[in-house]
């Protein structure tokens, strides 16, 4: 039996780990999974809601590192994770995505001689200013098994000199969560609560420091939202940190005065999925939402200059628009005027990625 430590640190990790833990529990004679929550991002109400919505068991271990600058946070996770790994002596440590906890878990495992599997390996934005990019690249160099979501990720790794035998194309595990929970999410009453009576609304999410911490970038996005709100209702679930910077930079009053824009509290997984899966358009700076909107056939405008998920642009519904007001507005109006497109079928984004992951672990 393989003892596996699964590391989560932030909410996007929950959607990736939940199907993996469930797949391991279905093979209880082969796998003994442990779930470790580092506490990198932790809000009791939000985390509890995500764990409940995803049917993810409560963490076996909570490290409670809390928020801190990148290097301090990585060091804190390493300090608390190392004695745990020494005690548990796992066969594998699984890290997912590109958050600070991902890199910290990989570093500790490498130091202690424990095999590392990286889920969502090989993604590259080629933007060295993104902390996530540094986390992805170093984690991929450390990992013994690189589990990729798409063929372009394999190509990136091979171009970097990663040995092919370390790489497995398994698909996108976030889509496992999406497909499993979409029927339940469709039953959410969130649209009724927000008085959204038709399918012509737009959903916005913003969280990246390059967008919400900089006066000029945020100002351009707010100008765009003001113009787009003249054509469509906008729903904006606001992360607490984003809410804080919006207030500090002086944009709260203007946003609140836009009659067709609703600023609401962050939503749990099912309510948020129930909301944006019925949207006509999504504007975001999130990586995962680019993938999910592609699978659902929803036009997505990414408020960044690049993406580590180019397959959502080449095959999917995603358009990279940056943060210039005119570009955002033009792309939004074009999407609103266009006929809806069918959902996109991307190879191995089929709801069975977690099973391929556990098979890869067993065979490696």
- Using alpha carbons only, give the angle 222, 228, 232 rounded to the nearest 5 degrees: 130
The answer to whether residue 207 is catalytic is yes
Q: How far apart are CA 247 and CA 238, in angstroms?
A: 12
**Please, which residues bridge with residue 37 across strands?**
8, 62
- Using alpha carbons only, give the angle 147, 25, 19 rounded to the nearest 5 degrees: 45
DSSP strands (E only) in 196-343? 202-204, 234-237, 261-264, 281-284, 300-302, 318-320
Least Cα distance to 279 among 335, 241, 230 occurs for: 335
Structure tokens at 167: 């790489």
Structure tokens at 106: 């990989």
Structure tokens at 338: 């266009």
For 261, list phi and psi in degrees, rounded to 5.
-120, 125
- How far does Cα 197 stand from its chain's mean position? 28
Annotated catalytic residue, options 55, 118, 207, 364: 207
Residues with active-site annotation:
207
């Amino acid at each position: 039996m393989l003892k596996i430590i699964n590391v989560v640190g932030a909410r996007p990790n929950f959607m990736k780990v939940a199907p993996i833990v469930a797949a391991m529990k279905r093979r209880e004679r082969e796998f003994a999974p442990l779930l470790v929550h580092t506490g990198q991002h932790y809000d009791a109400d939000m985390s509890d809601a995500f764990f409940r919505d995803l049917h993810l068991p409560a963490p076996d271990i909570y490290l409670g590192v809390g928020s801190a600058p990148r290097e301090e946070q990585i060091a804190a996770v390493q300090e608390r994770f190392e004695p745990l790994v020494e005690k548990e002596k796992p066969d594998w440590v699984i890290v997912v995505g590109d958050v600070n906890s991902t890199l910290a878990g990989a570093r500790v495992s490498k130091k202690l001689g424990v095999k590392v599997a990286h889920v969502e390996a090989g993604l590259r934005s080629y933007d060295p200013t993104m902390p996530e990019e540094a986390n992805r690249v170093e984690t991929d160099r450390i990992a013994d098994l690189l589990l990729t979501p798409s063929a372009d990720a394999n190509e990136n790794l091979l171009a970097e000199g990663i040995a092919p035998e370390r790489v497995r194309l398994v698909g996108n595990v976030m889509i496992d969560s999406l497909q499993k929970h979409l029927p339940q999410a469709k039953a959410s009453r969130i649209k009724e609560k927000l008085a959204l009576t038709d399918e012509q609304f737009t959903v916005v999410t913003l969280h990246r420091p390059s967008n919400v911490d900089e006066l000029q970038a945020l100002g351009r996005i707010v100008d765009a939202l003001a113009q787009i709100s003249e054509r469509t209702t906008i729903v904006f679930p606001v992360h607490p940190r984003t809410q804080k910077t919006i207030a500090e930079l002086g944009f709260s009053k203007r946003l609140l005065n836009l009659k067709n824009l609703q600023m609401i509290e962050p939503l749990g997984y099912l309510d948020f999925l129930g909301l944006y899966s019925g949207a006509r358009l999504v504007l975001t700076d999130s990586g995962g939402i680019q993938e999910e909107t592609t699978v659902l056939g929803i036009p997505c405008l990414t408020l960044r200059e690049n993406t580590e998920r180019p397959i959502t642009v080449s095959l999917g519904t995603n358009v990279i628009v940056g943060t210039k007001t005119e570009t955002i507005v033009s792309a939004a109006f074009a999407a609103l005027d266009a006929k809806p497109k069918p959902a996109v079928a991307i190879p191995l984004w089929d709801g069975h990625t977690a099973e391929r992951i556990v098979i890869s672990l067993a065979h490696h």
